Amino acid sequence: MNRAAHSTPQYWAALVFTILLLLGNPSAFAQETSGRVLLTLDPPVQKLVPFEAEAEQQQSPPRFHLEAQDSQGKALSRVRMQIKIVTPATNPWISTDFPIVEGTELLSLEVPAAQGVVEFEQMLPIRGTYQILIKVMPMDDAVSTPLIKQVLTVNVPENLVKFRNFTILAGMCILVGAVGGFFIGTPHGRLDLRSTLGIPESVRLLLIGLTLTAMAALILINVSAEFQGGHSSIAGMANTPINAPSIAQDKEQVLNLDGAQEARVGTAESFQARLTDRRTGQEIPSAFKVSVINEENNWKLFSIATPIADHLRWRQQFFDGSGHRIEVQTPPHKKQPALTTKHSVSVEGIAPPVSVRLKALAYLTGFVALGLFGMMGLKLRFSRTRVSS
């Protein structure tokens, strides 16, 4: 009976219809299978270091190479990638060089990947584990279901120079505390202010009072700077235009770069590049080459050379509180020359939160106290050994 049922006209008609449907929509195969996105970094993860503003040699941003593959390991064609990079989360104990940047959006963009590959350069500002959220979508903008949805991680180790500097600073604090413990400690195994090195008690009390006053003043300065910095930032941002286009044009085409003229550390700003016909205003498909450069020290923050698309949209964070320049270039188009436009962004630096500064002050005070009480304990043990002998 089953063989007879399969030979009915309805069965063969349904089979032919299914085959024609799949042949007419090749992307249906991709949607039924899962794939993955492979990440290759240059330099590799083992050699990555976070951004160092005081580096003797100018740093280059690492190059990200993303390749979307199907379940068979073959590169997907005619897709687009949505990419978002999130910085490492805040560590409650030890902060990074840019605490405002921690746990924020560093970069977000959507670019076509005709051969399933996207390459770009992005500077990584701090140590820790970065999250790269990726969605691989069909080229058709009407389709909202991703073919691949994946989260990749990149763990950037701390620069060894920071460990060296931290060790030197901690050693100096411990040494200062040890020197103080040597002079404060007494050979009798107890703290006696009246008999310490013959220094008058009024002088010792004055020195202690000055030390406590200096610590209180340091805390007060940090707190007041926090409130004043936040107030002036908001006022400065309110009195200037937020967005303004930069334009380059010739007789037939116009290159527009729209985006913020002012930015704030810790916040990503939106930008868009598009090439349009000067007469009709219609978008012209084009490739875009984008570079974001720090104007103060002339180092590169971000760069990408996209395949042909109608426009390019991305969100960018400027983690360094100095001016940046965005350069967008299009290749020659139908015997038309290449167009280049530049866009300046003024970046407002944000002071570290008062909690971070007080935490650093507490650590330094702790190292001093470690040297102080450590030396006093050694002197106490030494004096007891002499008494017992």
Query: For residue 13, is it within any domain?
Result: no
The answer to whether 125 and 107 are in contact (CB under 8 A) is no
In which band, very low, low, confident or very high, does the pLDDT at 386 lie, cut at 50, 70 and 90? low
pLDDT(229) > 80: no
Output the pLDDT for position 237. Answer: 44
The CATH number for 110's domain is: 2.60.40.10
Task: Give the dihedral of Cα atoms 344, 97, 302, 239; nearest 10 deg.
Answer: -20
Output the pLDDT for position 220. Answer: 63
280 shares a domain with 153: no
368 shares a domain with 288: no
The CATH number for 275's domain is: 2.60.40.1930
Give the containing element (helix H, strand E) for 54. none
Query: For residue 111, is it within any domain?
Result: yes
pLDDT(339) > 70: yes
Q: Write the burial class of residue 13 (CB in 10 Å: 0-12 exposed, 13-18 middle, 19+ buried).
A: exposed
269 shares a domain with 319: yes
pLDDT tens for residues 58-103? 889 999 999 999 888 899 988 999 999 999 999 888 888 889 999 9
150 shares a domain with 113: yes
CA angle in degrees (0–180, nearest 5) for 220-223-225? 105
Query: For residue 16, is it within any domain?
Result: no
The answer to whether 100 and 46 are in contact (CB under 8 A) is no
Q: Which domain holds residue 328?
A: 240-348
* Residue the block writes with tokens 């100095």: 322
306 contacts: CB under 8 Å, gap ≥ 6? 111, 112, 287, 288, 289, 290, 312
229 shares a domain with 358: yes
Query: For residue 3, is it within any domain?
Result: no
167 shares a domain with 220: yes
295 shares a domain with 201: no
341 shares a domain with 356: no
Domain finish residue from 105, 136, 158 = 158
Output the pLDDT for position 325. Answer: 95
Length of the chain: 389
CA 178 to CA 376: how far, in whole Å?
8
Main-chain phi, psi angles of 182, to 5 degrees: -65, -40
Q: Distances from the Cα of 160 to the Cαs of 50, 56, 203, 212, 269, in angstroms?
A: 11, 14, 43, 35, 32
If one counts the domains in the chain, the total is 3
Output the pLDDT for position 303. Answer: 96
pLDDT tens for residues 141-158? 777 789 999 999 999 998
Q: Is the pTM of this model over 0.85?
A: no
Query: For residue 166, is it within any domain?
Result: yes
In which band, very low, low, confident or very high, does the pLDDT at 32 lie, cut at 50, 70 and 90? very low
CA 204 to CA 125: how far, in whole Å?
46
pLDDT(17) > 50: no
